[in-house]
Amino acid sequence: MNLTCCIIDDEPLALELMESYVAKTPFLKLAGKFSSALEAMEKVGWRDIDLIFLDIQMPELNGMEFSRIVGEHVRIIFTTAFEQYAVDSYKVNALDYLLKPISYPDFLQAANKALQWYEMVRRIPEEEKLKSIFVKTDYKLLQIELDRILYVEGLKDYVKIYLEGEGQPIVPLMSLKALEEILPSSDFIRVHRSFIVRADKIRVVERNRIVFGKQYIPVSDSYKDKFMTLLNRGGIK
Domains, the chain, ranges and CATH? 3-122 (3.40.50.2300), 132-232 (2.40.50.1020)
* pLDDT tens per residue, range 38-55: 888 887 776 778 999 999
Residue 40 has a pLDDT of 87
Phi-psi label, residue 158: left if phi above 0, alpha if psi -120 to 50, beta otherwise: beta
* pLDDT tens per residue, range 162-210: 999 888 999 988 888 888 888 888 889 999 999 999 988 998 998 889 9
- Report d(CA 220, CA 206) in Å as an integer: 13
Q: Assign 13 a pLDDT band (cuts: 50, 70, 90).
A: very high
Threshold 0.85, pTM exceeds? no
Q: What count of other Cβ atoms lies within 10 Å of the Cβ of residue 152?
A: 23
* pLDDT tens per residue, range 97-152: 898 899 999 999 899 988 888 887 776 555 566 788 888 787 777 889 999 999 99
3 state DSSP class of 203 = coil
How many CA atoms within 13 Å lie on the side-chain side of 128? Answer: 5
Q: How far from each other are the two terminal CA atoms of the chain, in whole angstroms?
A: 26
Report whether 190 contacts 222 (CB < 8 A): no
Mean pLDDT over residues 64-87, rounded? 76
- Report d(CA 226, CA 218) in Å as an integer: 14
Asked if residue 235 has pLDDT above 70, the reply is no
CB-based burial label for 178 (10 Å; 0-12, 13-18, 19+): exposed
- Report d(CA 173, CA 175) in Å as an integer: 7
Q: Assign 87 a pLDDT band (cuts: 50, 70, 90).
A: very low
CB-based burial label for 65 (10 Å; 0-12, 13-18, 19+): middle
Cis check for the bond before 101: say yes or no (omega within 30 of 0): yes
- Report d(CA 210, CA 219) in Å as an integer: 7
Q: Could you tell me where the DSSP H helices lie in 24-103?
A: 37-43, 63-67, 86-91
